[in-house]
Structure 1
């Protein structure tokens, strides 16, 4: 007689246990744990996330970093500039030494100096990160708040409410945002609403970008809500007498956190570029407050004598936007339920 297939210790008996154990381990992990496991296997996205975290720390500790590695962002060093060419001198003690091709990069000035006035580029890049991230994060937060609330309301209630909100989204999406931003920021007074100068301009930029960009995330939230409102857990909540507020904010909203988070990480670099574009056009943050877009605008007249003045702020924008996009793409793949674990 042949041995029974279910003999303890045999291969036939152990395989179903192994499969069951693996399935049980996967089921016991939360969505966040599964997403983190997937993200750790993506070195490109993880590298982008590490760079974003470091950039945030740099912006927060900008005053401390400029004390260690640079100088105040608006401190002039005319003695290091050639008065004839407006470039940075190779040897400050010799006015005939010629232009330094590195722009004055040294241990004292890690990224060199600006032409004409000799301001430290490292300090201005670090402080420029503060402006870019502040405007981008606050604008994204405003966009997410408006888009999430209106998207959930439109998707859950449907009917005329959905129609009104959806048509409003279409109007906002057809709005010439860049032209409106240029026109509005160009006529902003020096003082309003208890704010003045650049604090007022930051508030205006945040309002323009956030208020007129919410339909993008609103459409995503509305589409997800249309699917979620028909799911079994929502029907179960209704059957036990849960109110509308409970269903919206305790049942549906937690299931929207993942797509909202992913879209927010992809929206931040867009807002960084938008702020840089406005500053480049001269209708963003007023000088001498450093911004990456403003530095690029100032560098156009001196690219022949100081090419580093063009390259460094442009590279800062490029690397920052790339890091956010890589991290956002990685998050999107990590939270995708169709991705293999």
Structure 2
């Protein structure tokens, strides 16, 4: 055996021909540890193929899967005063906002859009947990009010996807005031006789749970979502007792009458279509009920049409 030919040369060649592999091609499931290819994970709506664990999904990705053909238009949200308290901890509040905007590519923690699901017009709002833990600040309050006003104006149901760590501490009492503001917005929908459907995703906690997230006409949750005001660790430390298995998870809340349904993310669109059409008094949706494409005119017909126009 020639040691230089069989070992040294291949080793040197491998070092010089090695290619850098992007780190974002694979995602590790936090539940089962399975490595998931990013395209397969995206096609599966960020649900683990191995254990069915529901991972975080951005509002835009959610809306692309929710609306017919992924087509929707954003609803303008009024901009609040930036840094009203001039808050500073380890960083200035505006610096934290800029960092969150850069990492997520979004203006704030909630996106409002309008479009059709199963040819049923709706207004939808979704929180982004990646943006400062989806915390409820003045912008989120403005977004919910804008969504409710748009739904009332167009006479459409409002579907809201919640995901938040609670109120935004950098806005202090102004953040807490969003609880009654959003409650009034929900009341606007009820007075107009329009459905308000809430989909609680992991996690929904704090003042968000204590206000608009639990005021829906229909309460749906994704599997194993944490839904609470105070977290289980805080409760255990306070009462000094072990909590039941699965406490404050979606399935536990369903068993105790706080939710109407726990629905898999891949089945959520069809369920929302059925519920919205039922509450709006429409006939059931027909599978494949889309307008047929217009047939292209024959060359002779097209020439005759153009000649007639001239």
TM over 0.5: no
Structure whose residues are more often strand by fraction: 2
Structure with the greater alpha carbon radius of gyration: 1
TM-score with structure 1 setting the length: 0.25
Structure ranking higher in helix proportion: 1
